[in-house]
Amino acid sequence: MIDEIQRRRTFAIISHPDAGKTTLTEKLLLFGGQIQVAGAVKNNKIRKTATSDWMEIEKQRGISVTTSVMEFDYEGYKINILDTPGHQDFAEDTFRTLTAVDSVIIVVDGAKGVEAQTRKLMTVCRMRRTPVIIFINKMDREGRDPFDLLDELEKELEISVRPLSWPINQGAKFKGVYNMYEHNLHLFVPDKQHVSETVEVDVHSADLEQHVGEKDAHKLREDLTLIDGVYSPFDVQTYLSADVAPVFFGSALNNFGVKELLDCFVEIAPSPRPTQAIERIVQPNEDKFTGFIFKITANIDPNHRSCIAFCKICSGRFERNKPYEHVRLGKTVRFSSPAQFMAQRKSTIDEAWAGDIVGLPDNQIFKIGDTLTEGENLHFRGLPSFSPELFKYIENADPMRSKQLSKGIEQLMDEGVAQLFVNQFNGRKIIGTVGQLQFEVIQYRLENEYNAKCRWEPVSLYKACWVESDDTEELEQFKKRKYQYMAQDRDGRDVFLADSGYVLQMAQHDFKHIRFHFTNEY
């Protein structure tokens, strides 16, 4: 059991949109032997789309709209990758994914540096003290000075960095990277499918000039001396405690610098870490199985209207057909066909260990955040659902298909793509999201996956907040006064839909004993 857990590496790849996150995932899968030809996110010549972008809308738009779960074996290690959406409209999916991983690889565009979404995601990693490795991508394009980039990473992401590979020139003159972790040289050959050659070379010998030329050899030696002078030697412990982020340079599209990243990653990245439950800390090597649901996906197989709940195993060993307790429902459940995933492709498994992500068939019994155990009453926390900022009424555009529409809305809300509120004043359904793009995705998926048509109608609201109070009289008075703006969420909890910041402020001022919550985890 200890051996199985020690060889697990579960991590998420995060970045700002277009930094190359999905492309990097494809190349990692290429090394893991899971795919023979790497797909492209945006390319007309390569007819294969990225493995992790399996939804129809992802293939059309060239963006990720949902987290994909993929696993493969590499040199004795079992690797679980979660490729997350970079677009801020789907940030909630990414935040939830970060609760299910033990480490993170952040992809940064070499020309643009640190962007808004990267900063936001790094804040979550800092909060959870998740170890981070940074991959600076697109070195084969003209970009910024590597030292400037390192300074910016330290300042913007508020973490110390330590380069473990170093680029030799960039853009059209890019010749390769020197791997400081393994002390060898990787010469750049622009090829999207094959790996470039590796040369064992002593930096201080004349061999270096033969490979990269006199000018670049001189500059590389100067840079390496400067790095040793400015940055302290790399210590794995400081990385594991999330104080230092190792930095690698490369070009994911051209499959360059990716193997160095992967080789170093499997060696230094943490195996499954302890998980904090409300009752206690759960250690991965405990005998008994525990796990929590961090994601639900509808329609992975368009031919079957099935939902899959993704369970992160926190401790012990999960076995097929064994009875487990569903803590929230207090029920015993068994799973005859648990699966492991390669984006959309799945294969049934008999067992899985702490650190693994397992797909469980879900017939509407799971919600995000649910706990499964072998009988212990445990609750894992830290799966927030944020207060939406955009709202629209959802109406049925095809009365003959109202059943399909209801089912579609229910399953998509279970996934956590958006939140549904029912207005108590007029009984209309309101969908709340954190980004405009989510409305388009919902409409597209309802039409294509459920054969249902919806139309959106505007509603002018500022914020949704959950309200509760120990003073029932005051709460009733508040609900009467705000009757037009009161709604219920899917769990039947009271939600106040404030139509402006001023109205919300006044409500907080006038009703002293009412608590206003901006995430639904309270």
pLDDT band at 55 (very low <50, low <70, confident <90, very high): very low
The encoded tokens of residue 258 equal 């990716």
Q: How buried is 145 (Cβ within 10 angstroms: 0-12 exposed, 13-18 middle, 19+ buried)?
A: exposed
In the prediction, which pLDDT does 187 show?
75
Closest-CA residue to 119 (of 146, 154, 144): 154
Query: Which backbone phi and psi does 99 adopt, to 5 degrees?
Result: -80, -15
Q: Which two tokens stand for residue 131?
A: 């170890």
Task: Domain 2-172+232-268: state its class.
Answer: alpha beta
- How many percent of the chain have pLDDT more than 90? 12
Given a cut of 50, whether residue 87 has pLDDT beyond it is no
Is residue 496 within 8 A of residue 507, CB to CB? The reply is yes
What's the average model confidence in pLDDT over 63-84? 72
Residue of 462, 440, 343 whose CA lies nearest to 87: 440
Residue 91 has pLDDT above 70, yes or no: no
Q: Show the beta-strand stretches assigned E in 242-389.
A: 244-249, 275-276, 281-282, 290-298, 307-315, 317-319, 324-326, 331-333, 339-342, 345-348, 351-353, 357-362, 371-373
Q: How many CB atoms lie within 10 A of CB 376?
A: 16
| 62 pLDDT higher than 70 | no
Pairing of strands 275-276, 103-109: unpaired
Torsion angle in degrees (nearest 10) through CA of 274, 276, 282, 283: 10
Q: How confident is the model at residue 200 (pLDDT cuts 50, 70, 90)?
A: low
CA 397, distance to chain mean position in Å, is: 33
Half-sphere exposure of 405 (CA within 13 A, CB side): 15
Tens digit of pLDDT for each residue in 337-354?
Answer: 888 765 446 678 888 888
The pLDDT of residue 199 is 66
The secondary structure of 38-80, three-state, reads: CCECCCCCCCCECCCCCCHHHHHHCCCCCCEEEEEEECCEEEE
- The C-alpha angle 203, 204, 209, rounded to 5 degrees, equals 70
Phi, psi of 105 (to 5 degrees): -110, 125
pLDDT at 463 over 80: yes
CA distance linking residue 254 with residue 252, whole number of Å: 5
Spatial neighbors of 148 by CB under 8 A, at least 6 apart, are: 113
Residue 41 has pLDDT above 50, yes or no: no
Q: How many CA atoms lie within 13 A of 20 on its CB side?
A: 29
Question: What is the pLDDT at residue 184?
Answer: 75
- Count the neighbouring beta carbons within 10 Å of the beta carbon of residue 230: 11
Per-residue pLDDT reduced to its tens digit, 495-507 = 999 988 899 999 9
Q: Are 84 and 25 in contact (CB under 8 A)?
A: no
Kindly tell me if the per-residue pLDDT of 196 is higher than 60: no
Q: What's the CA angle centered on 224, arms 219 and 225, to 5 degrees?
A: 100
**pLDDT of 191:** 56
pLDDT at residue number 113: 84
Residues 6+ apart with CB under 8 A from 237: none
Phi, psi of 213 (to 5 degrees): 90, 160
CB 478 within 8 A of CB 484: no
pTM: 0.75
CB atoms within 10 A of CB 334: 11
Per residue in 115-133, is it b (16+ CB within 10 Å) or e — as a string?
bebbeebbebbeeeebbbb
What CATH class is the domain 275-373? alpha beta
CA 139 – CA 128 distance, rounded (Å): 30
Residue 134 confidence (pLDDT): 92
CATH 3.30.70.3280 in the chain is located at 390-517
Instruction: Give CA–CA dist 21/53, Å, rounded.
Output: 11
Dump pLDDT digits (tens) for 204-250.
Answer: 666 777 777 788 788 888 888 888 888 888 889 999 988 999 999 88
Q: Closest Cα partner for 361 from 409, 320, 407, 410?
A: 320
CA angle 495, 522, 94 (to 5 degrees): 90
* Better-predicted residue by pLDDT, 50 or 511: 511
> Per the CATH hierarchy, to which homologous superfamily does domain 390-517 belong?
Peptide chain release factor 3, domain III (3.30.70.3280)
Q: Please, where in the chain does CATH 3.40.50.300 lie?
A: 2-172+232-268, 275-373
Tokens standing for residue 33? 């032997």
Residue 378's pLDDT band, with cuts at 50, 70 and 90, is: confident
Residue 425: count other Cβ atoms within 10 Å of its Cβ.
12
**Rounded mean pLDDT of the chain?**
80
Which of 499, 507, 504 shows the shortest CA–CA distance to 475?
507
Q: 87-101 as b/e, with b when 16 or more CB fall inside 10 Å?
A: bbbbbbbbbbbbbbb
- Over residues 354-383, mean pLDDT: 82
Q: What gap in Å lies between CA 17 and CA 8, rounded to an integer?
A: 28
